[in-house]
Structure 1
């Protein structure tokens, strides 16, 4: 009995001490939720400021611009770039330059916060500038989606900058874009200091912006009427070309295209353009079978890989001449085939490609804007040897022999009436009229090409 009393007394004593503790525990507020500090936005007017801020948070404020040797010169170069960057498509660049310069001067005090603020401002301005250079261009027929110009993500731009062996060299290379663009920008800056940049320079600068700064690619300049074999940003060889005729009734200038070539075709067929079929139709109607035999033509059922060969007498050629009936006509390989001995296709919606030509006389003319849009090359053998790294040719008389390239080669067909040369800026006649604003949609007129899918202007 006495033991039970003692136990009950002990339980009562424990409750006496524990009750207030339990009550206090129930009444204590929950621990506060950590609040993420607001990011330091060095250039709050930039849409990239927050992303750049988080980039530096992830790398624990490790600097790029203030990281060591060469940084001071790279900073000075960036400020120079920003001051002129309105020409490059960054109108707020001069304002950025003034803001960033003030932050860089404040960072010279040695204060860590000031340095981090200046670091982020430099990177934000750099990201905005690079993205302005990479802005999309609607002036181009993009035949290869991998070549489409689009702004890189801020993380990628800054990672490439931080990984560069020389920040200064990286900044200079990216800002140059390519030799054509850099030379045209110098002309624009000279004109700007004299009162204003001309429309011709502005438009050429925009057309030059899509060209790579390095690598191996084909450059066809319709204004120059030449093809350049480009390596490392310079021409390692060139040849004359015949390009599209912009004059009525043709209205078929060679459009601005960026695509990739993956193969060539030896002993190619020539698919006759629709406007020429209508032109030939009255003569064909007189004796279809004889005409087809004399010209080595075939009437096709479709543009498939293995089309059916139709009888020429099954076609109403008078209706074809009137434009009320359509027909597909191709010429077999041979000495008079307009494609010559080899053609070099690359994807694009207008059916434009490079090809050989049996009509050699045109390469001796000053004005070579006479084709139906496609690009006739002066020396297909030399072009093929450069593309393949060896001599290539047809292995038999079999038509349409596909020759696979070791690696795809980009093709840029453009229109530059001004290009840098050994003696300064070379200028060419504006035969397409594309150096006038309003005369074209940035370089690509609505009438360019116009050939059906599978068709082949020459």
Structure 2
């Protein structure tokens, strides 16, 4: 399956697809607990709740396996910590946990009666709180639908019940822990808070499914750390330090027919004087046309070499030994690369990162593209407005090629995470939410026909 098929199935689906249950919620869904109090109904642990709330079996297995006693009820800071947790659960409807407010309401009803003295009822209440918190954490730490993970290091972590609940039991300040865990990252928090503010100003309003979809994508980035973020919707790259953007630049991303996929990976090195390896469809197109029109002169004038393999030990072939009519017709293939030069499509430097679709960041000689407001123009890879500035930030020194030879690899002092995502929801300085053009049609349709708001 290609990334285009995968992305369409994951990103063009309904909002329900984005709200699928976490991997460990395996049991069939059934209703949330109703109005009766703990004293008047079976123990809470006997109830199961609707997806994506974590199932009772998962919570029971955690308690049976790890025997933690009370995770929450016996904490000295329980009152303050649980109050903060319930506020987070109220808000979680914006984040994709549709049952979050009902879980919060159920816990509030039990606490208004008072913490039970009966051991079984106390255990049931503690398990209910554990399910609620685990369900929230499973929501905000779930893998991003449609994202290609190019490295294990950038995959979601800390989303297993024993990790979440034993941590909650051990932290010295529960309220602060809840706050820290619910502050997902700079980009996520701004979108979520703007939508929560909008709902507060419009009693009875429901979360915009486009916001839910955007938050599902935005949760990929970490709360802290140093990373590169590329947003295909706004065609912008951010450099992030300690979780805060410190610089940005324009980028060119894939056109609709070659949409840039969502990727989480790591950049380990910079490549100076890169070759440009010509994609098959372009070799069949303008390269074949040029060779049929001008022959050897076309290859020499544009710096193209025909090679026998995609490897560093490739042998260079005589371009006139190739049946260019067959290449044009699609009955033969050619492997071609463009030598480093002022017209090389990669420019002076590129930044590879592991991913199954061969996407990378690169310089470009076509600087005029960055004067355009709509920059979805590439064949999938990401062209940088100022590749040397990004190189300076990644390398932490002036980016200089070791020599003039092609493909000079310079390792970064520290591997740097890169996240390529798609955020059509944007927040202005006043905290107001707007939507960019959904150029790839990955957002849920709202009201039968989706209208763009704001500016690209």
TM bin (shorter chain): 0.7 to 0.9
2:7 aligned partner? none
CA deviation after TM superposition for structure 1 residue 253, in Å: 2.0
CA deviation after TM superposition for structure 1 residue 132, in Å: 2.3
What is the TM-score of this pair, normalised by structure 1? 0.78
* Secondary structure in structure 2 of the residue aligned to 1:48: helix
CA deviation after TM superposition for structure 1 residue 151, in Å: 7.0
Question: Is residue 323 of structure 2 the alignment partner of residue 313 of structure 1?
Answer: no
Question: Is residue 441 of structure 2 the alignment partner of residue 433 of structure 1?
Answer: yes
1:412 aligns with one of 408, 419, 422: 419
1:403 aligned partner? 410
- For 1:109 and 1:256, the matched residues in 2 are separated by 48
* Secondary structure in structure 1 of the residue aligned to 2:337: strand
CA deviation after TM superposition for structure 1 residue 209, in Å: 2.3
CA deviation after TM superposition for structure 1 residue 62, in Å: 5.7
CA deviation after TM superposition for structure 1 residue 231, in Å: 2.0
1:67 aligns with one of 55, 60, 75: 75
Question: Is residue 223 of structure 2 the alignment partner of residue 225 of structure 1?
Answer: no
- For 1:65 and 1:266, the matched residues in 2 are separated by 58
- For 1:73 and 1:176, the matched residues in 2 are separated by 18
What is the TM-score of this pair, normalised by structure 2? 0.79
1:258 aligned partner? 264
- For 2:167 and 2:354, the matched residues in 1 are separated by 31
Q: Residue 188 of structure 1 contacts residue 197 of structure 1 at CA under 8 Å; is this kept in 2?
A: yes
1:93 aligns with one of 91, 100, 107: 100
- For 1:162 and 1:421, the matched residues in 2 are separated by 38
CA deviation after TM superposition for structure 1 residue 184, in Å: 2.3
Cα 1:96–1:165 change in 2 (3 A) is: same
Q: Residue 355 of structure 1 contacts residue 377 of structure 1 at CA under 8 Å; is this kept in 2?
A: yes
RMSD: 2.5
- Cα-to-partner distance string for 1:240-291 (whole Å, 9 max, x where unaligned): 1111122xxxx11222111111111011001112222122212202443222
Cα 1:184–1:55 change in 2 (3 A) is: farther
* Secondary structure in structure 2 of the residue aligned to 1:85: helix
1:206 aligned partner? 216
Mapping of 1:81-120 within 5 angstroms? 81-108=88-115, 115-120=122-127
CA deviation after TM superposition for structure 1 residue 96, in Å: 2.6
1:3 aligned partner? none
Cα 1:420–1:234 change in 2 (3 A) is: farther
Cα 1:426–1:93 change in 2 (3 A) is: closer
CA deviation after TM superposition for structure 1 residue 44, in Å: 4.0
Cα 1:367–1:91 change in 2 (3 A) is: closer
Q: Residue 235 of structure 2 contacts residue 375 of structure 2 at CA under 8 Å; is this kept in 1?
A: yes
Cα 1:177–1:398 change in 2 (3 A) is: same
Q: Residue 71 of structure 2 contacts residue 130 of structure 2 at CA under 8 Å; is this kept in 1?
A: no
1:275 aligns with one of 281, 295, 300: 281
Question: Is residue 143 of structure 2 the alignment partner of residue 136 of structure 1?
Answer: yes
1:197 aligns with one of 194, 203, 207: 207
CA deviation after TM superposition for structure 1 residue 55, in Å: 6.0
Q: Residue 56 of structure 1 contacts residue 62 of structure 1 at CA under 8 Å; is this kept in 2?
A: no
- For 1:315 and 1:134, the matched residues in 2 are separated by 52
Cα 1:109–1:206 change in 2 (3 A) is: closer
- For 1:383 and 1:105, the matched residues in 2 are separated by 55
Mapping of 1:21-420 within 5 angstroms? 42=45, 44-45=47-48, 46-54=56-64, 57=67, 59=68, 61=69, 63-64=71-72, 66-69=74-77, 71-108=78-115, 115-149=122-156, 152-189=159-196, 190-191=198-199, 193-246=203-256, 251-280=257-286, 281-420=288-427
- For 2:129 and 2:59, the matched residues in 1 are separated by 11
Q: Residue 243 of structure 1 contacts residue 374 of structure 1 at CA under 8 Å; is this kept in 2?
A: yes
- For 2:73 and 2:394, the matched residues in 1 are separated by 41
Name which one, 1 or 2, has greater alpha-carbon Rg: 1
* Secondary structure in structure 2 of the residue aligned to 1:47: helix
* Secondary structure in structure 2 of the residue aligned to 1:177: coil
How many residue pairs end up in the alignment?
392
* Secondary structure in structure 2 of the residue aligned to 1:399: coil
- For 2:309 and 2:212, the matched residues in 1 are separated by 44
- For 1:397 and 1:213, the matched residues in 2 are separated by 40
CA deviation after TM superposition for structure 1 residue 311, in Å: 1.0
Cα 1:263–1:304 change in 2 (3 A) is: same
- For 1:345 and 1:97, the matched residues in 2 are separated by 45
- For 2:409 and 2:166, the matched residues in 1 are separated by 41
